[in-house]
Structure 1
Amino acid sequence: MPEGPPPPRRRYVVAAVGCAGGMVSLDQTVVAVALDPMAHSLGLTTFAMHGVVLVYVLALAAFVPVGGMLARRFGRLTTFRAGTALFAVASGLCALAPPGEAAEPYLVAVRAVQGVGGALMMPVATSVITDVYEEESRGRALAVYAGLAQLFLVLGPIVGAVLTQLLGWRSVFLVNLPVGAACLWMIARARLGNRAGGGSLSVVQPLVVIFSLVVLVLGLYQCGVWGVTDIRTLTALAVGAGALLLAVRLILRSRRPLLDLRLLSVRPYAVAVALTFLVQGPQLIVLVHGTVYLRQAMGLSLLATGTCLLPLVAASAAGTFLSGYLHDRYRSVRVPVLLGLTAAAVGAAAWTAALPSLVYAWQVPAMILTGFGTGLPVPALSAALMRVVPPDKRPDASVLRQSIRQLGGAVGLAAAGAFALAANANADDAAGVITVAATSAAFTVASCVLAVTLPLAAVALPRRARTGGRGSAGPAA
């Protein structure tokens, strides 16, 4: 009898997708540390500094469903490889950004491409691990995958600071080239199959979704410059909202929808996705604006800035890992979610109040509370929402969740950026300086979102303890 294909090498699978997820996590922290020296080197305005981060997160949100569609059509292995290569190459191109007037459009365009690469990787990672591991060992494999991503997140501030200080800000982008190459090598060694479903690709649905999200989010961000009541702001928001409604209508009527929006009719799933959306924005706001504050307002060196960020990112990683334990210990999603939101709301408010003092010691307890609180809810919510959908719908549920989660980050960053731009003086905007008042405005957005999300979660989450076995709520990326 002819022999079948060799079994996949599982350790290479986990290492490859873990490093890929780590690249996406690492990018958030190292770029935040490098923003200030990048702005001064290239002559970026404050608007462009925000835009470099915002366009990356927006591309993630807009193209995650496209990544899911391509994985079904061409196979997950092909999509993962393409996303990894695109992310690494675009990251390398970011390091070649020219100074002067060309810097802003160049960086925005290449960062968008980098976000597209990340979006192609994200829908594939967890489904690949789920396929190659049996149920009894799947939880541990997913925990290792999430742990690698969290390790990259925690190391990001120090790695970014050391690289920027020793080799310049361009090196924080170049670091993704060897990591990406290692991911491609490991996924080749993993001997995975590449099952492709075939079928036609939808073009209209992705185009309408991408157009609607870009116009809506950038219109929200631009209102910090134009003003809320400016006709340009109102037009952009109206066009974006109208296009989004059209996209929803097209998706619901399609036999091959880009996103399975009907999953939102399952109330526990819809609640978990909505709360994930609301948490993602504040988490990115405090990371990005907190980093620039330490560097610009407090005047810390690059290495000191990276070190001073550790309480935030380490607490976030701790919350992520503790989430699964609390979920399984109390057999209820309410415990980790409400505990996390309470800590995050209190921490963000306290941190906002401490910003004008410019005293780091007063900010550390608030940073720990904020990081721990924002890290705690998402893994438990992820486990809860995947449990309430049928097994055959879980890949679609994962893609929809990732899309909405990243959209939450983009909307949060856009709203905080608009408030920061409105609070900044024109001269500071032109010089690429974010003042304490502007940082406080951005933090106020995060604090208000968390303060509103807490009572919503208390009302919407199920009160009855769940039934079923343990081990279902390990860390989730």
Structure 2
Amino acid sequence: MGSQPARGVSAPATASQSLTLAAMMFAVSMTFIDQTIVSIAAPSIIRELGLSATGMQWVVNAYLLALAAFFALGGRLADILGHKRMMLIGTLTFVIASALCGAVPKGSGAEAWLIIFRAVQGLGAALMFPAALAVVVEVFPLERRGRALALFFGVAGGLTALGPILGGWLTSWTWRAIFWVNVPVAIVAVTLTLLARIRNTPRPEPIDWPGAVLVAVGMGLSVLGLQQASTWGWHSAATWLCIGFGLVFLVVFVLVEQRAADPLIKTRVFADRAFAVDNAVLFFAMMAFVPVFFFASVYAQVALGYTANQAGLYLLVFFAGFAPGSQLGGRMLDQRGAKSPMLLGTALGAVGFAFWAARITDLSLGAQWWCIVMGGAGIGLLLTPASTDAVNRAIDASYGEVTGITQTVRNYSASLSLAVLGTILLNTTTSKITTTLTGQGLPSGVAHSTAKSITQNLTGSSGGAAPAGVSTSTLDAIRLDFAEGNRYVLYGMAIALAVAFLCARLHPGTRVTRTPQDAEEPAQAHLNPGTGEGRRGA
């Protein structure tokens, strides 16, 4: 008789944990897919709605800007209002905005409509993602958390590569479907969340609104400057004013937070050496992980001559390494702590990307696949340990807050990398195509202007379409020039991962054996025996 209560707690709790993990993965899958799916549909959207190329760029950027600006606030609100409640609010905000994006009317107001609701989508994602990750952390006990989050990041991250494939298939029916597809996914996520009967755990505290404004303006301006650098140019005053003022706002934010009674971010968490190292590793590793989808997709279409759908399959090769690497990284985290998988992952990733760069001019997937798999495995190995170890070190179990920090670091790093590596690709490819055209007899001035136009067409809103109206031999030479430009991009990613390796070596190697939440109550207590219902509802 004495053992029956234990069995009564264990089985329902395990079932609810599985439902919880599935629910959170469905929810965040929408945010990952939407980072890449819209770019594939860009030409169709431009044709039907009559959008300008600049307007279409803002449709893409509005989502990413809002995501970067509001992640920190989303994480803090999740802790204050409760992780389950904020996850549901973020999901509903995201899916309503998605439906409205798909319902954009034709006419003069279409561009503004689409940009506004894409920004609302980004806001919804910023509210949802930290809360969803915090729910997983809260429900799973420390000894099982690494494997749970490995599955969370492995599946959710893999869905990023599905964006181009899904986008191409849906666009063949109607581009509006790329937004409407989020509706059934959100319904599944909300349904599973309610079935899991997750306990909501609000912690009423004042909200640091001055801090929220400062970090939103600072992140928004600096990310805007980085994103627009390719359009405005690095010589533009607007580029540097946005980046400069953004950084000033962020510095003021840090100073204000150190004096605030109830700060948006408890900056003293960075005094934990392991937490600081985890975020440094994430910062440099994300310079490779997030931008690789854009660069590899365009490379596949231009240099290899793939269709958009085939380019999506090219990206899936990366996840042939990423998925098992993520699972291994989670197990290593649970058994040994974060340092070992971070060291192995950054080293393997750096070598894989370096070999990929060396093979990139062999215009064949057969010559590259093992390098791509190696690079993916390295990223998979380090991502879960670095993210989970950082969250485990939350002060007072502020899981939403530290998730907001790590996601802000990741998004800022990706924006910086896309801007810098994009400029390297643009300049290198332009230079090489200029050399090719002058070798075919064009005057240097004409060759340079033509090369610049071709390069901008390859990397711009055309979705990576190779230039038309040129001879086969010239087209082959341009494809090789573009591949050589991408070689420098991949070497840049390898260097970033090598720096991440040096950062990982500074990790103290200590393991979190008891979190602030564990000190208060077991993780299973978030689910009531028999029903899985928490002591406090949403």
What TM-score, normalized by structure 1, do the two folds share? Answer: 0.83
Residue in 2 that maps onto 1:72? 79
Residue in 2 that maps onto 1:128? 135
Of 175, 179, 182, 2:185 maps to 179
CA contact (8 A) 1:55 1:111 kept: yes
Alpha-carbon separation, structure 2, partners of 1:95 and 1:289: 27
Change (3 A) 1:257 1:303: same
Cα deviation digits, residues 97-132 of structure 1 (max 9, x gap): 567986665544333221211111122123323434
Alpha-carbon separation, structure 1, partners of 2:120 and 2:491: 31
Of 350, 362, 366, 2:367 maps to 362
Q: Which amino acid aligns with 1:171?
A: A
Of 65, 68, 74, 1:61 maps to 68
Give, in angstroms, the shift of residue 327 of structure 1: 4.2
Change (3 A) 1:43 1:344: farther
Q: Which amino acid aligns with 1:291?
A: S
Alpha-carbon separation, structure 2, partners of 1:234 and 1:117: 29
Give, in angstroms, the shift of residue 286 of structure 1: 1.2
Alpha-carbon separation, structure 2, partners of 1:463 and 1:195: 32
Cα deviation digits, residues 321-350 of structure 1 (max 9, x gap): 121234456x36444323322333333344
CA contact (8 A) 1:32 1:291 kept: no
Gaps of 5+ in 1: 1-5, 471-477
Change (3 A) 1:238 1:425: same
Residue in 1 that maps onto 2:5? none
Of 344, 350, 353, 2:349 maps to 344
Structure 1 residues 222-301: aligned runs within 5 Å: 222-301=228-307
1:112 aligns with 2:149: no
Residue in 1 that maps onto 2:442? none
Alpha-carbon separation, structure 1, partners of 2:456 and 2:50: 11
Gaps of 5+ in 2: 1-8, 431-450, 467-478, 515-538
- Comparing 361-370 and 460-469, the one that deviates more: 460-469
CA contact (8 A) 2:347 2:498 kept: yes
Structure 1 residues 319-338: aligned runs within 5 Å: 319-327=325-333, 331=336, 333-338=338-343
Cα deviation digits, residues 45-70 of structure 1 (max 9, x gap): 77666655444333323212111232
Alpha-carbon separation, structure 2, partners of 1:307 and 1:112: 29
Alpha-carbon separation, structure 1, partners of 2:65 and 2:377: 25
Aligned residues: 463
Alpha-carbon separation, structure 1, partners of 2:358 and 2:46: 27
CA contact (8 A) 2:153 2:384 kept: no
CA RMSD of aligned residues (A): 3.6
Q: Which amino acid aligns with 1:249?
A: L
Q: Which amino acid aligns with 1:402?
A: Q
Alpha-carbon separation, structure 1, partners of 2:137 and 2:290: 28
CA contact (8 A) 2:285 2:500 kept: no
What TM-score, normalized by structure 2, do the two folds share? Answer: 0.74
Residue in 2 that maps onto 1:425? 452
Residue in 1 that maps onto 2:492? 448
Alpha-carbon separation, structure 2, partners of 1:357 and 1:149: 31
CA contact (8 A) 2:352 2:372 kept: yes
Q: Report which of the two structures shows the higher radius of gyration computed on alpha carbons.
A: 2
Give, in angstroms, the shift of residue 134 of structure 1: 4.7
CA contact (8 A) 2:79 2:400 kept: no
